[in-house]
Every structure is written in C-alpha cells, then in structure tokens.
Copies of this chain bind each other. A is one copy, B any other.
Amino acid sequence: MKQFSITVYPGGKKITASEGDVLLRVLKKAGFPIPASCGGQGICGKCRVVVKGGVCHASPSPFLRKEEISQGYCLACLVLIEGDMEIEIPPESLAAALHTETSTADQATIVGYRPAGEKSGQSSDSKAPAFEFAQPAVTEPTASRRILFEEKPIIKDKLVLGKWEIETRTKRLHLRLHPPTLEDHRSDIERLRAELVSAGFSGDRMRCPLPVLKKLSKVLRAGLWQITVTLIELPDGVEILDIQPGDQTQHHLGLAIDVGTTTVVVYLVDLLTGQVIETAGGYNAQVRCGEDVISRIIYARTPEGLAELQQLVISTINELIEQILKATGLSARNIGCVVAAGNTTMIHLLLGLDPRYIREEPYIPTVSLVPPVKASELGLKVNENAYLYCLPAIASYVGGDITAGILTTGMHKEPQLTMFIDIGTNGEIVLGNADWLVAASCSAGPAFEGGEVLHGMRAAHGAIESVAIDRESLEPRLSVIGQVAPAGICGSGIIDTLAEMFLSGLLDRKGKICRDILHPRLREGEYGFEYVLAFAKDTAIGKDIVITEIDIDNILRAKGAVYAGCSTLLKQMGLGIEDIERFLIAGGFGRYLNIHNAVVIGLLPDLPYERFRYLGNSAVTGGHLALLSQRLWREAEQIARSTTYLELSTSASFMDEYVSALFLPHTDISLFPRVEPLLKSKRAEN
C-alpha cells in the first residue's frame, strides 16, 4: 500500500497517510483537533483546512468562498489522499474544534434510533486505532502543488462566481413610503404597490395574503411609513410574504431540507450572502413506522397511517428548525423560503399525499414537478406565508434528491460523461452529460445500511467501520466508531471485510468461505460457515461478531444490483465502463467507503482512481443551490423533465447483468483489470 507524507502546520509535524484515505480522518487519527460536527458528511462546513502544497482533488462545497478557494481552502472531509501534501489548520478551525470537542462530550452519540431532533452526525471517529488499507491501483505521484476544484457550486459572499449568481425567489426590501394626505389618499396597499413598482417590481398582479393585509395598516403607521417588505417573485408579479416596521433587511433567511428516509438534514441559509448559517440533522421520526420507503408506503395504507407519517416528518423538521433557531438566536418569521429535496415517497408523505400508486405497477406518483405549497399548510415553523418548493422528481424511484444531486454535480451542463450514484436501500444511478441524461433505480436492499447482515448496524457509535486483514496471519484489524468495544459492523466495514477476505484468499469468487484453511476465526457457526471479526471478550455485546456466508450472499446481491444498474445504463447507451469520465458518489453511505475495496468486490466499476469523487449529501447541497438561484431551480426542473427513466425491474438485460455481477468482483474478471493482479493466491481463483 502506498503511503504518503502529510506535513501539518502550524508546527510542521509530519504524519503518514495511506492513499485513498480521507484527510479529515488522517488528521483526527493523528490527534489534530479538527471540528467536524456533521461527522464528515461535507454538510457542516466546519472541517476547513488550507492546502499549501501537494496533490489535492477537493470535492465541491458550498461552504467556501471564491477567495478562500484561491487561497487553498478546502474541507478536510472531502479530500482524498493522493500524494504528499502540506496543509495548514487555520486558526478558526483550531478555535472551533476546541469548542466543538467540549460540546460534543455532552451529546449523545447515535446508537440505533434516537428521538428526532437531536443533533446527529456527532459520532466522531477521532483517534481510531491505526490500521492499514489494502493497496489501491496505481496513480501518478505528483510533486507540485495542484489544487483542482470543481467549478460548481461554490458560493461567493454577495454575488457568485462561476456561472450563476445569487438570485433568490424571496427578496427583502426596505421601503420609505410617502405618508398619505387628503390629496394623496391612496389606500395602504396601493401606496405599497406603487413603491414596489418604482423599485422595479411588477405590481400589476400583487398578491397579498390575508394575514399580511390584516397587519398592513398598523405596521405602516408603527414604522412611520418605513417598512421592510418580504416578497416572492412569481411569474405574474409579486406576493407579499411579510411586512415589518423599520429596516430589517439584514435578516433574510431560507431553509434547505434533505428529507431522507432515514435522516433529515436542515440548512439555515443567509439569503443575502448565500452562506449556510447553521445546520442540524436527525433521524426521520418515521423510521418507527418502517425502515424503507416500501414499508412506509404500506404503513400509509393503515387507518390514519398517512396522517401519522406526515406529522412525524413535519415534527422532525420542526424540531431541527427549533434547534437551529435556538443556536443562532434568529427568528422563524424571517425564514421566507423553504426548498426540500427528498425521494418521491418522502415528498408525498411530507405533503400528505397518498403514496399508494408508487408501489403498484406501473408505479405512478401523484406529483413529480410539485406545485409550491404554503409552508403553513403543512405546519412548518417558518414564516406563515413562506412557500415550500420541493425539488422535482424524475420518477417514482428517482426522486428530487437525485435531481438535486445532478444539479450539484453540474453533469447536466458538462461535456464529460458522468456517472452519479446515490446508494441507500435503493441505489439511484444517473448517467449522462450536457446532451442527455438517463436514470435508473435498483433495489440494493438494506445490506449497505447494516440490514440483512447478522451483526450489521448503522454507522453509529460502536460500529466497525473499517477492516483490514493481515495477509499472513489472517487476523483482522478493526476501526470502531467512537473507539469503543464493537457492537456490530456498518456498511463500510462490511465492504472492507469482503474485500479483505477476498484478497487474503479467504473467499472464493462465488463468495464462499474457503473450507480448506484452518484458522480459529474460520468455523461453522449457528448460521453456517463464518469468519469471526471479534471474539465475545472484545465486544460490547458479549458475543462474537462474525460475518457469515449468508451475510456475504446478501451483500453480493446488493452490490450486484448496483453494478448491474450501472452496466445496464451503459449498455443501453452503447457505452462501456471505460467511457465514464467522472464517477460521483453521493449519500451518507459513501462517507466512509473505501473506494478501492468497493472496486475489489465489484460494487463500483474498475476505473482509474482519480475519476471517483465523493460528494457528501448532494440532496441538501442541491436544495441549497436551488434556494439561492432561480436559474438553478429552473435547471433542476429541466433536469427532471429531460432525464429519461429506465425501468430496470422489467428489463431482461438488467437481469443478465445482475446474475453476472453476483461474483467477486464479476463473472468477467477482465472488467476488473486492476483487481486481478491483487488476488493473493490461486485459492481465490475459481
């Protein structure tokens, strides 16, 4: 395995890092205090470092300004180690880390389900025991400083670089009206309308909701005819969302929400600067009604089930909003616009729409391009007249979260062929470029989230998140979230286990454990043949943590579905794996994923390493973008309208691909040229 040297300033301490590791993790292991309140998902913007020299491909982030980027700023959780580097931890990060570390101590770490609304993502992986990664495929070493940023979607202070500007739907204006006289006896609303027209707005079809009308006369007079108006530009004019006395233009807020099946993430955004002011995340309280979208749809058919699911997700969001407002001291009233991204079922449940027909062939949702809804109709605790805009869906199983992801990648505007995947219980896959986009969804099942695996668990406190197996002793080295005795194994640990067992010769290409190696960790267990990752004395659960052949089978099916989805899309378009110029991974699952190991097991295609990028939570990032720019919102609508959806469940070609992908890494090993030479012994060959 390739090792690189990272020099960390201030101090100039040199540390060693394995190729492909995440910079944040490397720094944490070495004891550097880096704040990371989202736990490395790229959504809190806290883990800022400055790259002073060396190779660095940073993924895009909305948390950095143009000037900062040119100074070398990036988020450590989005940097993969590709060579030697010199980095500096800036003073603000050092200070924030101190603060974060203290406050984290008091907070619960995620273990299984928690009541919604508590801060999630606080599970820190700092000071995890060092272990070695399997060696990834060859990459070119580089000496000179080379910082390559995606050009989108990075937000500048006031207006924006790249190809778009901050152009929010909602505006806040400070207006000075002429007080009325006997000669100028226009009504309050006509006076306001005239002032808006002279400010350049089309006042012809001014909408003004009753609650605003009701306070209009009082506020105008209380403010001595100086007021702050919050309005939203509609195609036919404006709608007044709020009026306040005096000049309150400095408070102009919006919310971007990722309504996930498992977790909900909320960004509070300053609509003047585009910056994220505060974030919060927590489990979607709906999980108590079922873990995946299908079980939620079934639950929605019970009496009151739909209403309950709606109420649960709304209270989840409201608790996160309250948390953010408490932390910032800002007022819900000043939140004038909300953008939500979520899969199609989640958006239906959020709006209280019956998701029944999403599950019944031919799988038709009620809405894909969702008409705007008054947030108050849902009971969201923001300004009572604010609108909620839901990012448009492509199909029943490729939702607005994926549209948001595409928007984030910019793949719909670029010439390179990009593949974008977001893996959860469903794997959504998008392929395309500026000329065309195709999308599909494959059911990966819960294996990558720890389901259907005997000792599987979520990526929470006590989860084995990475595994290395010594090629000689066949002993595992484990990294556990929270550096505690392990309670189970999460998605990234499971993939590591499979890859390491395969490369060590413990697994054959069919995923069967070799019966002819004698080792205390290899044995016939209660559920069939198994490999022991940790013996009972070393675990938190008082029994052995193992991985069984049944587990491995379930994982093969999950990875096979994802790979078959990718290759079916490529085939449909007459393309091969080698044509993919960028391979972008989104979603929480990608966070701790060792890409090399994912390639080894055949989950990801065998592409040159540098073509992969991890995007973090691209749903909320896309929501953030669509909140800030009406142009990008229209791009999202265009993406949703123009992306071709392929139904895999009825595709014969997909079934063929799937069967071929149930092997390690694949029936056709020639598709994985970089994996073949790594196979340790002929034992692994079939």
Contacts and interface: CB of A to CB of B under 8 A. Distances in A.
Nearest to A211: B377
Nearest to A239: B371
Contacts of A216: 353, 366
Contacts of A396: 185, 187
A395 B370 CA distance: 40
- Interface residues of chain A: helix, strand, loop or mixed (majority): loop
A157 to B, nearest CB: 32
A641 to B, nearest CB: 9
A180 interface: yes
Given A185-B362, A188-B365, A235-B236, A217 B354 contact: yes
Q: How many copies does the complex hold?
A: 2
Interface stretch (A167-175, A202-210, A408-416): A202-210
Nearest to A218: B354
B371 A187 contact: no
Interface string A170-211: 000000000011100111111001000000000011111010
B213 A353 contact: yes
A520 to B, nearest CB: 52
A410 to B, nearest CB: 25
Interface string A93-128: 000000000000000000000000000000000000
Interface in A340-395: 351-354, 356-357, 361-373, 377, 393, 395
A568 to B, nearest CB: 15
Contact of A363 (B185, B218, B351, B365): B185
B214 A354 contact: yes
Contacts of A189: 366-371
A650 interface: yes
A647 interface: yes
Contact of A647 (B182, B193, B210, B393): B182
Contacts of A372: 207
20 contacts: A185-B363, A185-B395, A186-B368, A187-B393, A188-B365, A188-B367, A189-B367, A189-B369, A189-B371, A205-B235, A207-B371, A207-B372, A210-B351, A210-B373, A214-B353, A217-B354, A217-B357, A217-B364, A235-B235, A236-B236
Interface of A: 180-182, 185-190, 193, 204-208, 210, 213-214, 216-218, 221, 234-237, 351-354, 356-357, 361-373, 377, 393, 395-396, 645, 647, 650
